[in-house]
Amino acid sequence: MTYQTISHPDGATVAYEQQAGAAPGVIFLHGLMSDRGGTKARTLAAHCAAKGYGYVRFDMFGHGDSSGRFEDGGVGRWTEDALAVLDRVTMGPQILVGSSMGGWVTVRTAMARPHRIAGVVGIAPAPDFTEDQMWPGFSPEQRAQIMSAGVIEIPSDYNDGPYRISRHLIEDGREHLVLQGDIPITCPVRLIHGQRDESVPWQRSLMLAEKITGKDVDVHLIKNGDHRLSSPQELNRICEAVDELVSLARSKQQ
């Protein structure tokens, strides 16, 4: 798989793939322990190519072909990766499409660069999941282990191996929570969530929608959808949301 890299000042590299196309461009932000080669990322690559949209997909720190250990990553670092891609790889307005954990990073990115973001699509977005879901779900023994050893392993429903959850991930998450107050995002937002999602409750999208200060925020619930949202119909709904936001952005530019 051919990809390019950009480097942070500390030498860490971010792997990305870019497709040329018209503005606004689309940037995909993957989920926890996923990468730019996942089903949704590849589906959007094909869709954007067919529509003529510019498109970038990248691997966050500790994922895919980017440098670093997963255990050393966190929402703060992953937001730095997204901002580096936005600032150094793309030009003009962009639509951010964030899946699960990538939805949290998308919110942080949109807050940091409001003048660059023309729209946001959240796919089963998981803002604040380390604090509101993961930490409360740990047993007292697991909490003690993560504080003393710095990492614990928990089973994954989406990967062959377990998640290695670090103390750094939990503590870093606490520094980047977004649901505790208003979220100053005013561009159009589309949130898509399955009501059979056993990883991130669909109510999280409703909470996120309520906190976003912009008025053009829609939540689309898929009754039989799980966390993956990777059926043909679900993938089509994601592409439709992107098309809608591209159309809105272009109409504002005219």
191-250 tens-digit pLDDT = 999 999 999 999 999 999 999 999 999 999 999 999 999 999 999 999 999 999 999 999
Tell me the C-alpha to C-alpha distance, in Å, between residue 214 and each of 12, 208, 220: 35, 11, 17
Q: H-type helices in 121-202, by residue range?
A: 129, 135-137, 140-149, 167-174
- Catalytically active residues are 100, 197, 227
pLDDT in tens, 83-140: 999 999 999 999 999 999 999 999 999 999 999 999 999 999 999 999 999 999 999 9
Tell me the C-alpha to C-alpha distance, in Å, between residue 66 and each of 16, 87, 141, 144: 8, 17, 33, 31
pLDDT at 1 > cutoff 70: no
Look at residues 241, 240, 125 and name the one whose alpha carbon lies nearest to residue 188.
241
Burial class (CB in 10 A: 0-12, 13-18, 19+), 220: middle
Q: Which helix (H) or strand (E) holds 237?
A: helix 232-253
**What's the CA gap between 215 and 106, in Å, rounded?**
18
The third-level CATH classification (topology) of the domain covering 4-127+184-253 is: Rossmann fold (3.40.50)
